[in-house]
Structure 1
Amino acid sequence: MRKGSTSIASTVLFPDVLAFLLFLVQVQARNLNEADCSSSCGDIHNIKYPFHLKGDPSGCGDPDFEFSCVNNKTILEIFPGKYYVKNISYTDNLLRLVDVNFANGSCSLPSGSIENSDGFVQDVRYKGHVNYTTGSRIRFVKCSRNVTLQNNEKYYYNYTEVPCLTRNGTYTYAVLDGMYTAMDYPPTCSLVSLAPVDYHEDVYKSPTYEAIVKELQAGFDLGWSVECRDCSLAGKHCVIDDKAWDTRPIIFQCAKDYKELTQFEARLIIVGICVAGVIGLLLIVAVLVFVIRKYKKRNKPVKNLQNQQSSTL
């Protein structure tokens, strides 16, 4: 009997012990990568975990967070654009990025759209543009007609023409995000791409294209999160910790799982509720019966005494 109990305990405990050991190995590997690996490219020094440069030794940094070094410039490729890395803040988990097409102040479209049409970064490794204030992105819109302010229509107040891309009857505009965004384009216009910016001026005052180029050339901040990447690999969603909205770096965690009940589990719960209801009802009836009987016993001597007194008289 003792031998059987020991075997069962070993079977139960072994997977937990193995999982714990694997966790320790992963943590140790992460610590080694963070402590021992560091590289540089141009003006960006101390490139360390989770980042690494293409061509670094195997096991240095995380392969999901890779930079390339081209002409002494650190480049991040994502969605499928290319961005110069201007700064890395390991304290705030932020990258300062500039689209390669805007770095020299040239007139062009973005090399890629790091955000979707709703303004959200979809890559689980990078959890979004930090500046969430109004006017945090430029939308590039192509139109088949010249957009002018007619009858004070709402969509035209912040359309700035992109001169190098307007030709052959096709008009391209840089639209600063404001109250009206993707769903408010004129019927003759469609979204081409968008680029995040740190624009803090009045979004209702249409800027010149030179001012827009200056904002694009200045770049934007993008946060990263190894935890969100790990949540995705585990098949879970990544959310901001409810207690850490104002912290830097922003703390992310895996969303809690809400398992749907099976049909059997749902029926079992219903049966349990019914049984509990029946038991509760029986208890109430039992209490009422007990109280009634006790009341009758208490009143019986009084009735007998009344009968004796009436017979005496």
Structure 2
Amino acid sequence: MRKRSTSVASIILLPVLIFSLFLIHVQGKLNEAGCSSSCGDIDNIKYPFRVRGDPSGCGDPDYEFSCVNNKTILEIFPGKYYVKSISYTDNLLHLVDVNFANGSCSLPSGSLKNRDGVAQDFRYKGEVDFATESLIRFVKCSSNVTLQFNQTLHYNYTEVPCLSRNGTYMYAVVDGRYEANNYPRTCSLVSLAPVNYHDELYKKIPTYEAVAKALQAGFDIGWSVECRDCSLAGKYCVYGPKASDTRPIIFECQKEYHEITRFEGNLIIAGIVVGGVIGLVIIVAVLVCVICKCKKRKQQPKKNLQNQQSSTL
């Protein structure tokens, strides 16, 4: 009796559990679709983003902004950046380092990208058009490289006046993504700041005013929730199918390829050999059966004839 009541209870509870999970899923989707915040000039802040203080069901905690004095701020590595715009179509944020927002002479508040120009945070591994991207590296030197060395080699070294003092020279070095680490031996990299492409930066001798203008204008950075999830799973993030035809670009986790061990290889070879032998045995058996049947069919008329002759006699 107890077993029967238990099975009845299970039958009743299973649909209830499934329906509850369905309601939770629908509620999450409704929260995701219905949540929208604003801060200053940035309207319609929605999934995956949220503003600190939003209800717990809104946005993704990994993509949280703060709103200070009506300015949307992203804090990351360990810099602070004003969020100037959000493109949900291209999965792009346009950011400005808080230290450069007013055109002030300063170092970056943090290094969001590494010396190769790649975002260090796995939450922001989305796609950016490399043709529109540049880097400004802040390089500290113990001598005036533009005087000591051939100026042709260091045409893109622009001195930062507010940071050069007491025999130490700070330069803003404008380059692309793949021109790193070619510094004079008296210089070392301090930090870097990504900027969007500006023609003024690539003139023969860019002025610090042009550099400051580019820094104040900011840069684009992509985000990808899929890449975040892949990184948390210990996998690499790659373009999904038809990535070039879709906006936003869809990423997915790279498939893992397991390297076969010697033992596994031997098992595979043994399996192929055994399978081949079994297949050969089956083929031989089938051929033997067919041959036997053919012989029986040929022998049957002879037996019938012999029987007829014997009966006639």
Give the TM bin, normalised by the shorter chain: 0.7 to 0.9
Name the structure 1 match of 2:226.
227
Name the structure 1 match of 2:265.
266
Report if the CA contact (8 A) 1:155-1:180 is conserved: no
Kindly state the Cα deviation for residue 200 of structure 1 after the two structures are TM-superposed. Answer: 3.8
Kindly state the Cα deviation for residue 273 of structure 1 after the two structures are TM-superposed. Answer: 5.6
**Structure 1: how far apart are the matches of 2:152 and 2:277?**
64
Deviations 1:126-153 (A, max 9, x none): 1157231276111111111111166647
Name the structure 2 match of 1:198.
196
Distance 1:220 1:84, change over 3 A: same
Report if the CA contact (8 A) 1:39-1:52 is conserved: yes
Secondary structure in 2 matching 1:45: strand
Q: Aligned ranges for residues 207-222 of structure 1 at < 5 Å?
A: 207-222=206-221
Q: Which moved more, 1:42-51 or 1:106-115?
A: 42-51
1:85 to 64, 83, 88: 83
Report if the CA contact (8 A) 2:49-2:63 is conserved: yes
Q: Aligned ranges for residues 179-194 of structure 1 at < 5 Å?
A: 181-194=179-192
Report if the CA contact (8 A) 1:141-1:173 is conserved: yes
Q: Which moved more, 1:150-159 or 1:132-141?
A: 150-159
Distance 1:276 1:147, change over 3 A: farther
Report if the CA contact (8 A) 1:121-1:128 is conserved: no
**Structure 2: how far apart are the matches of 1:25 and 1:61?**
18
Counting matched residue pairs gives 268
Distance 1:246 1:128, change over 3 A: same
Query: Structure 2 counterpart of 1:218, which letter?
Result: A
Name the structure 2 match of 1:109.
107
Secondary structure in 2 matching 1:192: strand
Query: Structure 1 counterpart of 2:31, which letter?
Result: N
2:53 to 37, 52, 55: 55
Kindly state the Cα deviation for residue 76 of structure 1 after the two structures are TM-superposed. Answer: 0.2
Kindly state the Cα deviation for residue 258 of structure 1 after the two structures are TM-superposed. Answer: 1.0
Name the structure 1 match of 2:40.
42
1:171 to 169, 172, 190: 169
Q: TM-score normalized by structure 2?
A: 0.75
Distance 1:168 1:211, change over 3 A: same
Secondary structure in 1 matching 2:235: coil
1:123 to 118, 121, 130: 121
Kindly state the Cα deviation for residue 124 of structure 1 after the two structures are TM-superposed. Answer: 1.5
Q: TM-score normalized by structure 1?
A: 0.75
1:138 to 117, 136, 139: 136
5+ residue gaps in structure 1? 1-13, 287-313
1:75 to 62, 73, 76: 73
Report if the CA contact (8 A) 2:117-2:177 is conserved: no
Query: Structure 2 counterpart of 1:233, which letter?
Result: L
Kindly state the Cα deviation for residue 178 of structure 1 after the two structures are TM-superposed. Answer: 4.0
Deviations 1:178-232 (A, max 9, x none): 4872231111111111111112427362311100110111111111111111222
Deviations 1:244-264 (A, max 9, x none): 136432221111111232443
Deviations 1:250-296 (A, max 9, x none): 2211111112324431221243466689899x99xx9xxxxxxxxxx
**Structure 2: how far apart are the matches of 1:54 and 1:42?**
14
Query: Structure 2 counterpart of 1:214, which letter?
Result: K
Kindly state the Cα deviation for residue 235 of structure 1 after the two structures are TM-superposed. Answer: 2.6
Report if the CA contact (8 A) 1:135-1:177 is conserved: no
Distance 1:190 1:205, change over 3 A: same
Name the structure 1 match of 2:240.
241
Secondary structure in 2 matching 1:69: strand
Name the structure 2 match of 1:253.
252
Report if the CA contact (8 A) 2:37-2:43 is conserved: yes
Distance 1:88 1:134, change over 3 A: closer
Distance 1:187 1:169, change over 3 A: same
Distance 1:179 1:96, change over 3 A: closer
Report if the CA contact (8 A) 1:121-1:129 is conserved: no
Distance 1:180 1:95, change over 3 A: closer
Same amino acid, percent of matched pairs: 72
Kindly state the Cα deviation for residue 42 of structure 1 after the two structures are TM-superposed. Answer: 0.9
Kindly state the Cα deviation for residue 33 of structure 1 after the two structures are TM-superposed. Answer: 2.7
CA RMSD of aligned residues (A): 3.2
Name the structure 1 match of 2:98.
100
Distance 1:137 1:213, change over 3 A: same
**Structure 2: how far apart are the matches of 1:28 and 1:230?**
21
